C-alpha cells in the first residue's frame, strides 16, 4: 500500500485522478467533455459531458477493494438526492431548462487491476 500514499497526497487528488480516468474512458466511447468539478451550494458535479444532444452528468466513485460490493454499490440515495439538486442548479445557472439530460455513474474498484463499470442512466 505504500505506492498509494506516495501517489496521492489527499483524497481530492485521488478523486481528481479517477475522474480523469473516467472522462478518458467515456471520450473513448464517443462522449464529449464539457466540464469537470462544477461546484455549487448543493455539492459537486464530477464530470459533465455530451452524448449527441444529451447532456450527461457523470458521478465517479472509487473504492480500493470489493468490500461491500466495491464502487458499484457506493452511490447512496442521499448522494443521489444531492446530485439531483446540483444538476438542477447547473441547468438553471446555464439557462438550460429544456435540455435533455442523463445521469451516468462510473464505478472504479481497485485491486490487482482497476475495474471500471459504466452505468448509463443510473437513476
- Whole-model pTM: value is 0.88
pLDDT of residue 116: 94
pLDDT of residue 112: 67
Where the chain has pLDDT below 70, the residues are: 1-9, 111-112
- Nearest-angstrom CA–CA distance, 51 and 47: 13
pLDDT of residue 36: 94
| Residue 51, beta-bridge partner list | 54
Instruction: Write the DSSP assignment of 9-49 as a string of letters.
Output: SSHHHHHHHHHHHHHHHHHHTT-EEEEEEEEETTEEEEEEE
pLDDT of residue 5: 43
pLDDT of residue 6: 45
Q: What is the CATH number of domain 2-119?
A: 3.40.1350.10
Query: How many residues are there in the chain?
Result: 123
CB 60 within 8 A of CB 86: no
Amino acid at each position: 500500500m505504500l505506492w498509494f500514499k506516495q501517489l496521492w497526497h489527499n483524497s481530492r487528488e485521488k478523486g481528481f485522478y479517477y475522474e480523469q480516468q473516467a472522462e478518458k474512458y467515456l471520450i473513448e466511447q464517443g462522449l464529449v467533455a464539457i466540464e469537470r468539478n462544477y461546484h455549487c451550494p448543493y455539492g459537486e458535479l464530477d464530470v459533465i459531458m455530451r452524448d449527441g444532444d444529451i447532456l450527461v452528468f457523470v458521478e465517479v466513485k472509487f473504492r480500493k477493494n470489493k468490500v461491500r460490493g466495491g464502487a458499484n454499490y457506493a452511490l447512496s440515495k442521499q448522494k443521489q438526492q444531492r446530485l439531483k439538486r446540483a444538476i438542477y442548479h447547473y441547468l438553471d445557472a446555464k439557462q438550460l431548462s429544456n435540455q435533455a439530460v442523463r445521469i451516468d455513474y462510473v464505478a472504479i474498484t481497485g485491486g490487482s487491476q482497476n475495474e471500471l463499470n459504466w452505468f448509463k442512466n443510473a437513476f
